[in-house]
Structure 1
Amino acid sequence: AAQEFPPQEPPEMTVPTAFERRGDLAQQLFGSTIGDPANLLDLGLMRGIGANVKPFAPTVKEIVERSSKDALNAGKQLSQTTKTINKEMPSQNKEVAYEQDLFTKQLKTPREDNESLFRVAEPSDVSKAKKGTVATPDLQSIHTVQLPTGQFATTTGFSTVQPIRTGFEFAKTPEQVAHITAGLRKSPQEQLVAVVLDKYDRPIQIIRHTIGISNQAAVEPFSLAGSIANTPGAKSFYISHNHPSGLSDLSAADKQISMMLNNLTANTGIENKGIMAVGKGTYSFSSPLGQEIVNQNIPPAIRNKSINMVERVFKRSQVLDKNLISSADDARKMADKIVGDETGLMLLNQRYQPVGFLPVNEKSLLNLRKSGESTNILKALEKANANSAIFVTKKNLSQDQIDNIQKLFNAANVNMLDVLMGETRKSNAMNMSTRGTDFLSIAPPVAGA
């Protein structure tokens, strides 16, 4: 007789924290992962995106929805309890500790976990499968490493994964990019790559951003856009990924990620050509300009050329100072030590330790795109693997300047913990509320910028 196995309980849903500190805007703009449209309901991805997709197993859907709802309610109750406790505790400082972001959303201080930015879309801890993220416990202080664009104790670089054979020297059309990345279809896990092109539309390299699971792959906006910008000679890029189901139809989440990257790179000199999915012999494509290609055959060609596929690795993983920054007082002391009289960004790791400093011309804050400042910031964030920062200046900034730099960080999904300004380095953490992502160039280009 066949052996019988007892029924298994559905997997326990995890309660993410990323969106609690980002609020409704993050859920709307950043709560997306690359995934097959048919899997959106079962994954519990962005609310409403998979509403018209009929699941294969309604009972599984009901279980996931019920579990997700219960977990969300439990998370809200815990968050409310935490706020009540914090409110009742006596405070010795008038300034808020960095337990909240600029929107007063709860943060972990320091962030000791290594969770994916898009964990909310993941039924299990897939952050461990994320490439380019290396645990670095017990970091020690080192002498500052001077680089052309600032001071960096942590630096990333590219390491070749493998050469990719191709029949095309150029990637002037989506069809050619589909051919170049067609090999992704052989993977049972979703992989997301950026095909980076020079000014002649010749592929420079293929950046493997993430390897996910069978029906999704996470995207980290700042490190993806930053790694593209840090590719020498980069002028444009395509985003490509595979759908292990074999169906290449793009989901709404796929297209949203392309628009998110387009917001980061528009009018910066690096063009987002669009996003595609490859399946079993077919591909689908969507561009920011509105071009749509659905389930077209991937063109064959003799693969007598090669392009390197690379991934991010640490070249150096240290800190400028081993102390953690958990309050405005901590930030001032660290700024005195690292920044001095300069203006710029203190770049922080997940534990809020300084890993770099990027000088920034305050006059460029109203002209972030065309001045090249937004690209420099993305490059520095990626180079230092920094997902938090504090802006420091001894000058007084206008509210427009503060809002514009904050919008860039919102778009990149990076925590802007504070702006310290003036001779006393006054904290502005409680005075900023913009949730927008449309950072602008609202002033003429700065001469020499």
Structure 2
Amino acid sequence: MTMPTAFERRGDLAQQLFGSTIGDPANLLDLGLMRGIGANVKPFAPTVKEIVERSSKDALNAGKQLSQTTKTINKEMPSQNKEVAYEQDLFTKQLKTPREDNESLFRVAEPSDVSKAKKGTVATPDLQSIHTVQLPTGQFATTTGFSTVQPIRTGFEFAKTPEQVAHITAGLRKSPQEQLVAVVLDKYDRPIQIIRHTIGISNQAAVEPFSLAGSIANTPGAKSFYISHNHPSGLSDLSAADKQISMMLNNLTANTGIENKGIMAVGKGTYSFSSPLGQEIVNQNIPPAIRNKSINMVERVFKRSQVLDKNLISSADDARKMADKIVGDETGLMLLNQRYQPVGFLPVNEKSLLNLRKSGESTNILKALEKANANSAIFVTKKNLSQDQIDNIQKLFNAANVNMLDVLMGETRKSNAMNMSTRGTDFLSIAPPVAGASAIYESMEEPYKKGGKVHISNN
């Protein structure tokens, strides 16, 4: 039996593209579209000119069809000629509407140049029973819950040390793709559940701060957590990107009642660890133990996926009309999906805006953002806010990597989208301190008041 040549195997696809099969390769314009899918081809020799003319005609027809489709879409889209078009965030960074998936995700990565690495992908397993938690008071058209992925066998009942957490998450090393999880602990350092946040590629995994911190906060009984991920190379050294993710999560959760214990990477038999307070462990052996206990690994899934209103918010005028429908005379956050449709409303006490951490308001906001799967929001109030209040809520959203599109305030719901410029992320409380607060975080208050960036001393 004579095997067909690679060129002959292109025949069937050429039949589909040009209405004919292929003979002499010298007369074919190879566009890189052919693949071997058949044999028994008949001779045909179109000239390069004929192929180019046919391709030009097809392109012209496609252009006409695209133009007609664009006109139809423009008729259906809300008017952009309003007071303020939401094409930029509060500090004039260009926004994409609708917000593109994975555009603003951070990533953990192995120590290497990942500037040209491809974006990660997320695997979706078969869904099992969904576990829900109590929502913050408000309206939620979209809600998420936890679905069990699988039980993780462990030899430790508690996770009081990085070594024990490395043992618990050692199974991640078997994956050829980076996986990032949060091991959530109760007040006794007993693991409640392991949240699988993302599955990435061979050298990095994406991290979405608001949904990771929010899912940890939405775990009943959560008092602390470790972040763990695998390095498929087998080397457990932490990269600068790994440590940056830990510090970002520390900023979101510090002094809120949920403690970030640190981040680790597991490799082939070893682990490395870094804590926000400066503890470093490098390439230590993962301790063995008889795995006679189990902890559920879970992931986020939709329990319900709807909207409060199908209309898109594309301007301050649109936002005011939507606020009249949804918010009324209340003060709070309109939570939006990536198309800027309202999926929830969370009432917020404006007096807490200068005391976000200790009042519990920042945690409540993170829980609501995660539960509504909202990556954008608009703050609405009929009261007048100070610039400090506006800046502080915006810093929380900057830290969570969530778009704060606008603050509508006063009886007329005046837009402040063009009047704010803070890029800060240090939303520490600037209200009078409360009794019993941690000394290290109390000491961080003063630099914040002065407008400087807050650092945690390693001394």
Q: TM-score range by the shorter chain?
A: 0.7 to 0.9
**Helix, strand or coil: the match of 2:399?**
helix
With over 3 angstroms needed to count, the CA separation of the structure-2 counterparts of 1:411 and 1:315, relative to structure 1, is same
Instruction: Return the alpha-carbon distance in structure 2 between the equivalents of residues 74 and 231 of structure 1.
Output: 51
* Shift in CA distance, 120/191, structure 1 to aligned 2, threshold 3 Å: closer
Asked if the contact 1:35/1:251 (under 8 Å) is kept, the reply is no
Range that drifts further, 206-215 or 41-50: 41-50
Residues 126-161 of structure 1, C-alpha deviations (whole Å, 9 max, x = no match): 999999999999999999999552110000000000
CA-to-aligned-CA distance 1:411-439 (integer Å, 9 cap, x gap): 00000000000000000000000000000
Residue 442 (str. 1) matches residue 450 (str. 2): no
Tell me the SS of whatever aligns to 2:330: coil
Distance 1:441 1:105, change over 3 A: same
CA contact (8 A) 1:38 1:55 kept: no
Deviation sequence 1:321-342 (CA, Å, 0-9, x none): 0000000000000000000000
Structure-2 change in CA distance of 1:283 and 1:357 (3 Å): same
Q: Which moved more, 1:136-145 or 1:278-287?
A: 136-145
**CA distance in structure 2 between the partners assigned to 1:169 and 1:39 by the alignment:** 72
Question: Does residue 1:348 correspond to 2:336, yes or no?
Answer: yes
SS in 2 for 1:34: coil
Distance change (3 Å), C-alpha of 1:143 and 1:291: closer
- Give, in whole Å, the separation in 1 of the partners of 2:410 and 2:120: 37
Bigger mean CA offset, 344-353 vs 74-83:
74-83
Query: CA 1:258–1:408 in structure 2 vs 1: closer, same or farther (change >3 Å)?
Result: same
Conservation of the 8 A alpha-carbon contact between 1:155 and 1:316: yes
Decide whether aligned partners of structure 1 residues 89 and 219 sit closer, same or farther in structure 2, where only a CA change above 3 A counts.
closer
1:103, CA displacement in angstroms?
Answer: 1.3
> Contact 1:166/1:306 (CA < 8 Å) preserved in 2?
yes
- Of the two structures, which has the highest relative contact order with CA contacts closer than 8 Å and spacing of 6 or more? 1
Aligned to 1:222: 210
**Aligned partners of 2:111 and 2:240 also within 8 Å:** no
Answer with 141-150 or 186-195: which moved more: 141-150
Do the aligned partners of residues 383 and 298 (structure 1) sit closer, same or farther apart at CA in structure 2, a change above 3 Å counting?
same
Indicate the residue corresponding to 1:142 in structure 2.
130
- Partners of 1:174 and 1:285 within 8 A in 2: yes
Label 1:405 to 1:347 Cα distance change in 2 as closer, same or farther (>3 A). Answer: same
What whole-Å deviation, never above 9, does each CA across 1:143-202 have from its counterpart, x for those lacking one? 999955211000000000000000000000000000000000000000000000000000
> Once the 2 structures are TM-superposed, how far is the Cα of residue 211 of structure 1 from its aligned partner?
0.2
Question: Any idea what SS the aligned residue of 1:119 has?
Answer: strand
Q: Structure 1 residues 401 and 313, CA, compared in 2 at 3 Å: closer, same or farther?
A: same
The answer on whether the counterparts of 1:37 and 1:251 sit within 8 Å (CA) in structure 2 is no
Task: Name the stretch that deviates more: 31-40 or 258-267.
Answer: 31-40
After superposition, the Cα gap between the structure-2 partners of 1:365 and 1:116, relative to the gap in structure 1 and judged at 3 Å, is closer
Instruction: Quote how far apart the aligned CAs of 1:38 are.
Output: 45
Deviation at 1:111, TM superposition (A): 2.6
User: SS where residue 335 of structure 2 aligns?
Assistant: strand
1:42 aligns with one of 30, 37, 57: 30
Rounded to whole Å, the distance in 2 between the matches of 1:93 and 1:213 is 42
> 1:98–1:283: structure 2 CA closer, same or farther, 3 Å change rule?
same
Q: Is the 8 A contact 1:40 1:50 kept in 2?
A: no
Contact 2:13 2:37 in 1 (8 A): no
Flag the 1:214–1:137 CA change in 2: closer, same or farther, 3 A.
closer
Contact 2:136 2:346 in 1 (8 A): no
Q: What is the rounded CA distance, in whole Å, between the counterparts of 1:136 and 1:254 in structure 2?
A: 24
Query: What's the CA shift string for 1:93-136, capped at 9, x where partnerless?
Result: 57320011111121122336564624999999999999999999
Distance 1:102 1:56, change over 3 A: farther
Structure 1 residues 50 and 339: CA distance shift in structure 2, 3 A: farther
Contact 1:194–1:208 (CA<8 Å) still a contact in 2?
yes
Q: Is the 1:34–1:218 contact (alpha carbons within 8 Å) kept by the matching residues of 2?
A: no
Worse-superposed segment, 60-69 or 194-203: 60-69
Q: CA deviation at 1:353?
A: 0.2
CA 1:253–1:147 in 2, change beyond 3 Å: closer, same or farther? closer
Per-residue CA deviation, residues 350-374 of structure 1 (Å, 9 max, x unaligned), is 0000000000000000000000000
State how far apart, in whole Å, the 2-side matches of 1:416 and 1:26 are: 51
Which residue of structure 1 aligns with residue 441 of structure 2? Answer: none
Q: Secondary structure at the match of 2:79?
A: coil
Return the alpha-carbon distance in structure 2 between the equivalents of residues 56 and 347 of structure 1.
60
Q: Contact 1:410–1:436 (CA<8 Å) still a contact in 2?
A: yes
Q: Residues 120 and 425 (structure 1 numbering): CA distance in 2 closer, same or farther, change over 3 Å? A: farther
Go from structure 1 to structure 2 and tell me whether the alpha carbon gap of 1:118 and 1:294 turns closer, same or farther (over 3 Å shift). Answer: closer
Per-residue displacement from partner, 1:366-406 (whole Å, max 9, x unpaired)? 00000000000000000000000000000000000000000
Post-superposition CA distance 1:246-283 (Å, at most 9, x none): 00000011001000000000000000000000000000
Question: Relative to structure 1, is the Cα distance of residues 161 and 212 closer, same or farther in structure 2, using a 3 angstrom cutoff?
Answer: same
Decide whether aligned partners of structure 1 residues 208 and 119 sit closer, same or farther in structure 2, where only a CA change above 3 A counts.
closer
Name whichever of 65-74 and 258-267 sits farther off. 65-74
Cα displacement string for residues 211-246 of structure 1 (whole angstroms, at most 9, x for unaligned residues): 000000000000000000000000000000000000
Deviation per residue, 1:37-64 (Å, 9 max, x gap): 9999999999999999999999999999
Q: Which has the larger displacement, 68-77 or 94-103? A: 68-77
Q: Confirm or deny: 8 A CA contact 1:141 1:319 kept in the other structure.
A: no
The separation in 2 between residues aligned to 1:121 and 1:176, in whole angstroms, is 23
- Judging changes above 3 Å, is the alpha-carbon distance between structure 1 residues 380 and 91 closer, same or farther for their aligned structure 2 residues? closer
Higher mean displacement: 30-39 or 317-326: 30-39
Q: Which residue of 2 aligns with 1:430?
A: 418
Secondary structure at the aligned position of 2:396 is classed as helix
Whole-Å separation in 2 of the counterparts to 1:124 and 1:250: 10
1:194/1:228 contact within 8 Å kept: yes
Q: Structure 1's 17 and 101: CA in aligned 2 closer, same or farther, altered over 3 A? A: farther
RMSD between aligned residues: 14.4
8 A contact 2:108–2:204 mirrored in 1: no
The answer to whether the Cα contact below 8 Å between 1:145 and 1:153 also exists between their aligned partners in 2 is no
Q: Structure 2 CA distance, aligned partners of 1:378 and 1:30?
A: 55
Rounded to whole Å, the distance in 1 between the matches of 2:169 and 2:27 is: 22
Question: Which range moved further: 32-41 or 264-273?
Answer: 32-41
How has the CA–CA distance of structure 1 residues 140 and 15 changed in structure 2, closer, same or farther, with 3 Å as cutoff?
Answer: farther
Cα deviation for residue 444 of structure 1 reads: 3.0
**Alignment: residue pair count:** 436
Q: Which sits farther off after the overlay, 98-107 or 61-70?
A: 61-70
1:356–1:110 Cα change, 3 Å: same
